[in-house]
A and B are shown apart, each in its own frame.
Chain A
Amino acid sequence: MKIELTLNGAPVSVDAPADTSLLELLRDHLDMTGVKEGCGIGECGACSVLLDGRLVNSCLTLAAQAGGRKVITIEGIRGAEGGPNDLQQAFIDYGAVQCGYCIPGMVLAGEALLARNLEPTRAEIREAIAGNLCRCTGYQQIVDAIQATAIKRQENSNG
């Protein structure tokens, strides 16, 4: 079937079998390999994407469900001149990255949180990324990075 959606700001149209998951559509048909598969059952969050701004597990979402909607993957999170945005830069600066496999999903989970709450407590940040498993970092530096970005964005929006 034909699926039309907005991917990272650009309209795309793909022919894919009706049972294709959004994860398969993104990775196998649209080459968005920043979207990772970790469990295939919606437990680990490695395949997280933003669907109309909401964080979803793309492995549990049918591609057809994304029809006519806006999908943001890690490839769509960029700062000026295609480099990292402020949250991605904070992940680098605060040492939030080790093996890196969960990081695309973590960044999107952070963006989803910051879109609705620019003053999260550390407990709220932990809750917001609780659906994203990381086996390397113990999460602490990820929380640091999201918190630092929240403070900066808050200052920018006030200033």
Chain B
Amino acid sequence: MADTLYVGKPARRVDALEKVLGTAKYVGDYRLPGMVYARALRSTLPHARIARLDVTPALRIPGVLAAITCDDFIDHGRFGFPVPDMYMLAYQRVRYVGDAIAAIAAETEEALQAGLEAIELELEPLPGVFDPVAALQSDAPIVGESPWDAPELPRGNLLTRYVVRKGEPDALLADCAVTLDEEYSTVHQEHAYIETEGALAAPWPSGGGTSPSGGAGVTVYASCQSPFVNRNNLCSVLGLPQEDVRVIQPQVGGAFGGKDDQMYQTSGQVAKLALLTGRPVRMIFDREESMIASYKRDAMQMRIQLGADRDGTLRASKIHAVVDSGAYAAITPFTAWRSSIHAMGPYRYDACHVDTDVAYTNNGYSGAFRGFGNTEVCAGIEQAIDQIAWEIGMDPIALRLRNCLRPGDTTPHGQSLGDDVALAECLEQVRRLSDWDRKRAAFSAAQSEPSVPGAMRRGIGVAAVFHGMSLGAEGADFAVGTLAINDDYTLTLTSGLTDYGTGSRTVFTLIAAETLGLRPERIKMLRPDTDTAIDSGPTVASRSTVLGGNATRVTAMRLDSLLTHAAADLFGCQAAQVARHGERYVGPNEEPASFEQVVDHARQMGLTLSTHGRWNMPEIHWSFEQGQGKPYFAYHFGAQVAEVAVDTGTGKVEVTGIWAAHNTGKVIFPQGALGQLYGGITQGLGYALIERVDYDSGYMQATNFDEYLIPTAMDVPEIVGSFVEKPFAPGPFGAKNIGEPGMVPTAPAILNAIFHATGRHIRHLPANLERVLLGHDLRKEGSNMACKLGLRAERPQTTLQEAV
């Protein structure tokens, strides 16, 4: 590729200055004249019928301005995609502890509290179900509303089911020299964005809407990921046309997948309250409300069977997974589908079956979280692969190199891979960077020495990842960018995708600058606003760089060709004779013209100097019945090595090093890409060792950062991040995605290192002290919350083999 001016070069994040100065405004920092405050009344029971609900007593409290229930919305405020099973406020039943039942707006905090207490509510408890495998048994209490929730599905708590099918693994497994049959489980994980959820709705002046009868309109500022999805939900539950609802994206203080469904519900509540009161209404969650009410990473149980030859060639895989979706579907069907596609890992097999069942329970509810199904299954399959290597006596990297997907291979889904695949290169790179061969041998040798209680043991482990790009067969996939040249020769760039800390605004700015040859400082990238940007689908699935980046490139190329046309007219030559060096145009007789001169001339010619560009993901297809197809257009590949020191006296694991190599294609914004990698690895480290949203009979056990621990600066080692920049032709300047896949292999790499250090497989996350030290969990007889509520602490988990 020709040398670039801005892409791949050192650059500064476009919004870093306001963030370091403390002037960046998040929704909790927004204040409007006359603004009032809102809060929701939330369920204290995991499953109950709403026997009586009367909000009118709240309205008699001085300072309370409005109180709403589901009856204040069209169709009770029903929303959700792909399964519309949620409501803006609970309808008839509550399904989890924290389910919103009513919401009020009040002038003061005191009135808000008094108003919530005045609401008359009677909940009639219903039996709950807290074990996803048990939820699928015929005698389980029904959480969903089948057939209404998912008419095409069989019944009750089985939300959906996905399969992958290649050949017949059972016969092969019976023949294989080496086999494995193990169960693994992962736990719910809290997003723990440092900014909690919040939304502010401002009503338009009476008659400001488009309705001839003097209808209302509303502007919503929400800490959400996908403003267009939010707008569309608001229109449907409020009964307003698109012109009368505007969603503007403030700065978002982290999301990681967690600010979708929950924020659409909150936005609906404040929008309705604003329309009723005629006042701006703001709702900000405190940390406890955030942790109790918001959705989590799903928890998953997996049974993995593998078969291999003595030489380490993988032959067959058979995987059955059950996903705990909690009380609502949210985006879990998509998560589960992605997990089924990635469950066997990035390897070749002669036969492979995956069956994924998704169950409703009363354990909070699950939704998107970085890695989105792949993080969960990778924790299982990459440990299983390591165990096969150990049983054969083969080096774990060597076994992966023998089996890993390479250019031209066909995946177990029947997809032929292109020449962008670079997993082998990633494995070789982390092997070299981490000094794997020497350390593996040295740590193994130390293992055979006699053990002293309390001695430190060291280990080193590896894991590989593939991660399907963007939405895949989950949905229609496109993005749109717009560019306009302003009177002062700056440019305004928009995208319908949100930068909630990921750096996408900087990536898009660099792509536009590179395409146009303009200094990035000229380009002002706006945050999304549904009135000025164009719908680009949801900001999920690591899709910004490729989808939004390509849309930016298309709109910039259009603007570039307009300017070239104008320059040709100025020089009196053909467009092909115009050369451009950065911001300077040069004609056939070496006559120069500045960017400003060309813009002025273009305006005199009557050209409109604004463009928009749309990029559609190339076609993909998936047969949900046959479990074969082309599930994603392409994949990101990567490998990570973790080194640990384990205290054999306490079970404490210190991660002493992590090395990562990721097949990102061309890196657009190197500093940002490294930041994504470091941040993802740190979340993966937390997932491996300390993070666990524990539901006790539906009650979340940790509701703030004193009990739910996330890694601090002292828990994270110095990380060595690197990229394999094998170009990906369809990506902008050859780029692939990075946001999610950096997190995916971290936990299994750490778990494999613990195994190397201790000989102990930790098949159930997280690898806490007691699991590392004793090999099993300690069960607290009375957790804090259980004691407070007088609950019995009892939670038998059904194994998948028992359930069959």
Contact = CB atoms under 8 A, between A and B. Distances in A.
Contacts, number: 168
B769 to A, nearest CB: 19
Nearest to B192: A135
A95 B675 contact: yes
Interface in A72-102: 73-75, 77-78, 84, 88-89, 91-95, 97-102
A88 B12 CA distance: 13
A36 B194 contact: yes
A141 B19 CA distance: 15
Interface string B191-212: 1111110000000000000000
A51 interface: no
B712 A74 contact: no
Interface stretch (B24-32, B51-59, B380-388, B794-802): B24-32
A9 to B, nearest CB: 15
Contact of B674 (A40, A100, A141): A141
A101 B705 CA distance: 16
Interface in A106-142: 107, 122, 125-127, 129-142
Interface in A136-159: 136-143
A57 to B, nearest CB: 12
A38 interface: yes
A141 to B, nearest CB: 6
A34 B23 contact: yes
A93 B716 contact: no
B254 A127 contact: no
Interface secondary structure of A, over-half rule: loop
A137 B20 contact: no
B194 A44 contact: yes
A139 B671 CA distance: 13
Contacts of B705: 38-39, 41, 43-44, 133
A88 B20 contact: yes
Given A95-B13, A98-B501, A140 B716 contact: yes
B16 A97 contact: yes
A138 B679 contact: yes
Place the interface of chain B in its size category: 35 or more
Given A95-B674, A97-B19, A33 B194 contact: no
A41 B704 contact: yes
A39 B714 contact: no
Given A39-B705, A73-B22, A97 B253 contact: no
A36 B251 CA distance: 13
A101 B254 contact: yes
B681 A103 contact: no
Given A100-B251, A100-B501, A133 B194 contact: yes
B445 interface: no
Most buried by B among A39, A75, A101, A142: A101
Nearest to A107: B20
B501 A127 contact: no
A65 to B, nearest CB: 22
B21 A140 contact: no
B545 to A, nearest CB: 15
A133 B704 CA distance: 13
A139 B194 CA distance: 14
B17 interface: yes
Interface in B468-504: 500-503
Contacts of B682: 137-139
Given A91-B20, A103-B20, A38 B675 contact: no
Contact of A102 (B25, B29, B194): B194
Nearest to A142: B713
B683 interface: yes
A99 B17 contact: no
B675 A101 contact: no
Contacts of A93: 12
Contacts of A37: 28, 286
B287 A40 contact: yes
Nearest to B705: A43
B204 to A, nearest CB: 25
Interface in A18-48: 33-41, 43-44, 46
Contacts of A33: 22, 25, 28-29
B716 A135 contact: no
Contacts of A39: 287, 704-705
Contact of A140 (B18, B191, B719): B719
B718 interface: yes
B672 A95 contact: yes
Interface secondary structure of B, over-half rule: loop
Contacts of B672: 95
B130 interface: no
B243 interface: no
Interface in B683-697: 683
Contact of A99 (B194, B286, B704, B716): B194
Contact of A84 (B20, B254, B714): B20
Contacts of B714: 126-127, 130
Nearest to A145: B20
A135 B21 contact: no
A97 B678 CA distance: 12
A101 B704 contact: no
Given A97-B19, A130-B714, A135 B254 contact: yes
A54 B379 CA distance: 42
A139 B674 CA distance: 12
A141 B675 contact: yes
A134 B710 CA distance: 9
Contacts of A139: 678, 682, 712-713, 716
A97 B713 contact: no
B139 interface: no
B659 to A, nearest CB: 13
B29 A98 contact: no
Contact of A136 (B16, B674, B675): B675
A118 to B, nearest CB: 19
B716 A138 contact: yes
B713 A143 contact: yes
A77 B683 CA distance: 30
A10 B508 CA distance: 41
Nearest to B29: A33
A75 B323 CA distance: 46
B20 A92 contact: yes
A150 B89 CA distance: 52
Given A33-B29, A43-B704, A139-B716, A100 B671 contact: no
A137 B683 CA distance: 10
Most buried by A among B191, B704, B712: B712
Given A41-B706, A127-B714, A99 B254 contact: yes
B633 interface: no
Nearest to A122: B718
A126 B717 CA distance: 10
A138 B704 contact: no
A140 B678 contact: yes
Interface of A: 33-41, 43-44, 46, 73-75, 77-78, 84, 88-89, 91-95, 97-104, 107, 122, 125-127, 129-143
4 closest cross-chain pairs (CB), A and B: A34-B22, A99-B501, A100-B19, A101-B253
Given A74-B22, A135-B191, 13 more contacts: A38-B196, A40-B287, A41-B705, A44-B194, A95-B675, A99-B194, A99-B251, A100-B15, A101-B194, A107-B20, A122-B718, A127-B713, A138-B679
Interface of B: 12-13, 15-26, 28-29, 191-196, 251-256, 286-287, 500-503, 671-672, 674-675, 677-683, 704-706, 710, 712-714, 716, 718-719
11 contacts: A36-B26, A38-B287, A74-B21, A75-B21, A89-B20, A92-B12, A95-B671, A100-B16, A133-B712, A135-B683, A136-B675
